[in-house]
């Protein structure tokens, strides 16, 4: 594995961790949330710089069903990132407080809400496109499993995805995405690890769905 590939993996892992922590908002405090948001933006820029070859081929070549799906996810993530950055700047009370922006806060809150939750789902779906690569890396550290072991792991993957679907509903993520709920609810008596585990399961669920959906699209090329 060359240095560039290792750097890509490190950046992607960093973005995944940042994404999960950003979804905890009030649990980590507004100030930490803002600084993590800025760090996420820097990693996002680095990620696109490292993958600039892909961007250079956007208007070239034939578009298969899989490539269309991949491009839709990338465009969606770019839009949600732009929305998060714009609204984050307007709402900032710590990292960018020196800007002293007064107006447009109500609109910015709605943009931030919808961008954050759609971004979370779209980035989770995007992770699913790289499922095969992640499994390939895992095989470097785990010896070849017998058939029963592989089926057991697949069963665990399905169970986590199923729980993720349940957590998606229980945490009202869909309602936040559609702005049915305009304010995120956080139970401060709930152990932080439970909250984080639920969002990890939701992320796993969408990545798992995207992986299997993408496999079907590849077969239809």
For the stretch 196-206, pLDDT in tens is 999 999 999 99
- Indicate whether 22 pLDDT > 60: yes
Distance of alpha carbon 63 from alpha carbon 79, whole angstroms: 21
Q: Looking at residues 103-126, what average pLDDT do you find?
A: 94
- Asked, for residue 157, whether it belongs to a domain, the answer is yes
For the chain, the first-to-last Cα distance in angstroms comes to 29
The pLDDT score that the predictor gives to residue 140 is: 61
Determine, yes or no, domain membership for 129: yes
The reply to whether 66 falls in a domain is no
The reply to whether 199 falls in a domain is yes
Please count the structural domains in the chain. Answer: 1
Assign 4 a pLDDT band (cuts: 50, 70, 90): confident
Q: What is the pLDDT of residues 57-68, one digit of tens each?
A: 888 888 999 999
Q: Within a domain: residue 67? A: no
102 occurs within a structural domain: yes
136: containing domain: 3-54+75-219
Lookup: tokens for 104: 């447009």
Q: What is the pTM for the complete model shown?
A: 0.90
User: What is the spatial distance between Cα 103 and Cα 184, in angstroms, rounded to a whole number?
Assistant: 22
Whether 62 is covered by a domain: the verdict is no
Question: Is 59 within the bounds of a domain?
Answer: no
């Amino acid at each position: 594995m060359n240095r560039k590939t290792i750097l890509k993996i490190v950046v992607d892992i960093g973005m995944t961790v940042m994404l999960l922590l950003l979804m905890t908002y009030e649990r980590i405090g507004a100030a930490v949330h803002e600084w993590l948001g800025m760090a996420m933006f820097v990693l996002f820029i680095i990620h696109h710089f490292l993958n600039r070859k892909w961007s250079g081929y956007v208007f070239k070549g034939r578009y298969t069903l899989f490539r269309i799906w991949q491009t839709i996810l990338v465009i969606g993530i770019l839009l949600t990132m732009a929305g998060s950055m714009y609204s984050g700047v307007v709402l900032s009370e710590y990292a960018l407080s020196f800007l002293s922006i007064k107006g447009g806060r109500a609109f910015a809150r709605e943009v931030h809400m919808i961008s954050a939750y759609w971004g979370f789902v779209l980035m989770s779906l995007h992770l699913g496109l790289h499922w095969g690569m992640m499994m390939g890396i895992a095989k470097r550290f785990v010896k070849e499993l017998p058939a029963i072991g592989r089926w057991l792991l697949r069963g665990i993957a399905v169970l986590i995805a199923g729980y993720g679907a349940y957590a998606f509903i229980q945490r009202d993520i869909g309602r936040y995405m559609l702005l049915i709920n305009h304010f995120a609810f956080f139970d401060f008596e709930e152990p932080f690890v439970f909250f984080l585990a639920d969002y990890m399961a939701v992320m796993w669920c969408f990545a798992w769905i995207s992986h299997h959906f993408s496999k079907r699209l590849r077969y239809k090329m």
